[in-house]
Amino acid sequence: MTNVAVVGVGLTKFGELWEQSLRDIAVKAALAALADAKVNNDIVQSLYVGNMSAGRFIGQEHLGALIGDSLGIPNVPAVRCEAACASGSVALRSAYLDIKSGNSDAALVVGVEKMTDLQTDEVVMTLAAAGDQEWEADIGLTFAGLYALMARAHMHKFGTTREQLALVSVNNHSNGKNNPHAQFNMEVSLEDVLNSSLVADPLRLLDCSPITDGAAAVLLVSESLARRFEQPIWILASEQANDAVALHDRKSIVEMLSAKMAAKKAYEKSGLGPNKIDVTEVHDCFSINEIISLEALGFAELGRGGKFVESGAITLTGELPTNTTGGLKANGHPVGATGVRQVCDITKQLRGDSINQINGAKIGINLNVGGSGATAVVNILSNELVV
């Protein structure tokens, strides 16, 4: 089976993009990825679109064909992939498997979501449909509510503190301050987070990722094609694991077993362990999830994620720079685009052209989570094929 590389990345600005349609931003990100790779659209043999809920957000379905047509490649096989907030990652993984299987040599992945055309209550109910509608959403459990339950349980069982949660947001906003693509460029202090409005106890406004429009794209190619590009970034592993949709059906709510399993498989496939990782992107949809994710990826023992954050390890100068462009918290979280955006940002770190470049970064990992952990995808990328 061939190896697979990322040879082009493209992002739109994330935020409230009322003057642009979903089609506009998807095309913009895709063209940016092709331009970054210095190729035209005729290289694309398959198109994968990550999107959670355009049908409910803007009333548009059939995104594969729509975006293929808008990109001038109407006859290229195109499909939309959905797995809630991990939609972008399952699209990327499908493209990766497509190339690995020998079906195509070049696949374009576009993650896109247009969320801000609806009012907050409608957005929250649309997102809640990615939980268990019958057992969670119908009784008023929003995603903020679900992650608040996980946060409370983590605090109760391990002594994780409110301040440790807040430090996640402080770090990610600090990393996002120079990011031209990010929704928010403001820094926030510990006190700002602790005093922001309560959303779902113990989570406050500044613990939450916002509601966002945005698109991200990557061009993946097979090893034989990759050799023609200047700086291919290799996908050493792309692994997925799932779990029950409803929180109460999980073995544990203080850890994310799907993420743990996906990470274990990715480490096995790549032959690497957490000690080899230079830079990471994790799914901080709510601050607690960054702590749970760092534990799932093996950077901190179960229950010690809060202390790991408190130690300063996740900062740009720490032992594990995390969410170096601002994470979901500052970048924003256009749900279908996030997993692709994470891979764009890791790719830039490994090429040496990130806005917050970590010197000597060679290997990166990302974790993108769907819902409260029913889907998890982990990718390990490297600037060398043989590590």
User: Which of 97, 124, 194, 387 is the binder for ligand COA (CB under 6 A)?
Assistant: 124
User: Which of 127, 254, 355, 376 is the binder for ligand COA (CB under 6 A)?
Assistant: 127
Tell me: does residue 190 bind ligand COA (CB under 6 A): no
Comparing every residue's Cβ against ligand COA, the nearest one is 120
Residues with Cβ within 8 Å of 156's Cβ and at least 6 positions away in sequence, in order, are none
Q: Which stretch binds ligand COA (CB under 6 A): 69-77, 204-212, 222-230, 349-357?
A: 204-212
Tokens, residue 77: 């096989």
User: Which of 86, 92, 165, 208 is the binder for ligand COA (CB under 6 A)?
Assistant: 208
Contact indicator for 222, 4 with CB cutoff of 8 Å: yes
> Would the CA dihedral through 269, 47, 176, 213 be positive or negative?
negative
- For this structure, is 333 an active site residue? yes
Tell me: does residue 302 bind ligand COA (CB under 6 A): no
Closest CA to 338 of 232, 118, 183, 157: 183
Contacts with ligand COA in 249-288 (CB under 6 A)? 285
- Looking at the DSSP bridge assignments, the partners of residue 111 are 50, 216
Please name the residue that has the structure tokens 């959905």.
82
Q: Output the smallest distance, CB 207 to ligand COA, in A.
A: 8
Q: Which CB sits closer to ligand COA, 111 or 210? A: 210
Site string for ligand COA, 322-361 (x = CB under 6 A): -----------x----------------------------
Tell me: does residue 246 bind ligand COA (CB under 6 A): no
User: Which of 199, 262, 296, 380 is the binder for ligand COA (CB under 6 A)?
Assistant: 199
Tokens, residue 147: 């992650």
Q: Output the smallest distance, CB 217 to ligand COA, in A.
A: 21
Q: What is the Cα–Cα distance from 274 to 281, expressed in whole angstroms?
A: 13
Angle (CA) 237 296 270, round 5°? 20
Q: Which stretch binds ligand COA (CB under 6 A): 120-128, 149-157, 271-279, 347-355?
A: 120-128
User: Which of 40, 101, 103, 120 is the binder for ligand COA (CB under 6 A)?
Assistant: 120
Q: Which of 173, 181, 283, 333 is catalytic?
A: 333
Q: Output the smallest distance, CB 107 to ligand COA, in A.
A: 27
User: Which of 85, 92, 170, 216 is the binder for ligand COA (CB under 6 A)?
Assistant: 85
Which stretches of the chain are DSSP H helices?
A: 22-37, 54-57, 63-70, 87-100, 120-128, 143-158, 162-175, 190-195, 223-226, 257-270, 287-296, 305-310, 327-331, 338-351
Closest CA to 48 of 214, 212, 219, 237: 219
Closest CA to 189 of 204, 167, 207, 216: 167
Rounded to an integer, what is the distance from CA 365 to the centroid of its chain?
11
E-only strand ranges, 195-319: 198-200, 203-204, 213-222, 233-242, 279-281
- For this structure, is 181 an active site residue? no
User: Which of 11, 27, 112, 211 is the binder for ligand COA (CB under 6 A)?
Assistant: 211
Q: Which CB sits closer to ligand COA, 199 or 217? A: 199
Q: Output the smallest distance, CB 354 to ligand COA, in A.
A: 23
User: Which of 89, 126, 209, 315 is the binder for ligand COA (CB under 6 A)?
Assistant: 209
Total of chain residues touching ligand COA, rule CB under 6 A: 16
Q: Which helix (H) or strand (E) holds 110?
A: strand 106-114
Catalytic residues: 85, 333
The footprint of ligand COA (CB under 6 A) covers 85, 120, 124, 127, 143-144, 184, 199, 205-206, 208-211, 285, 333
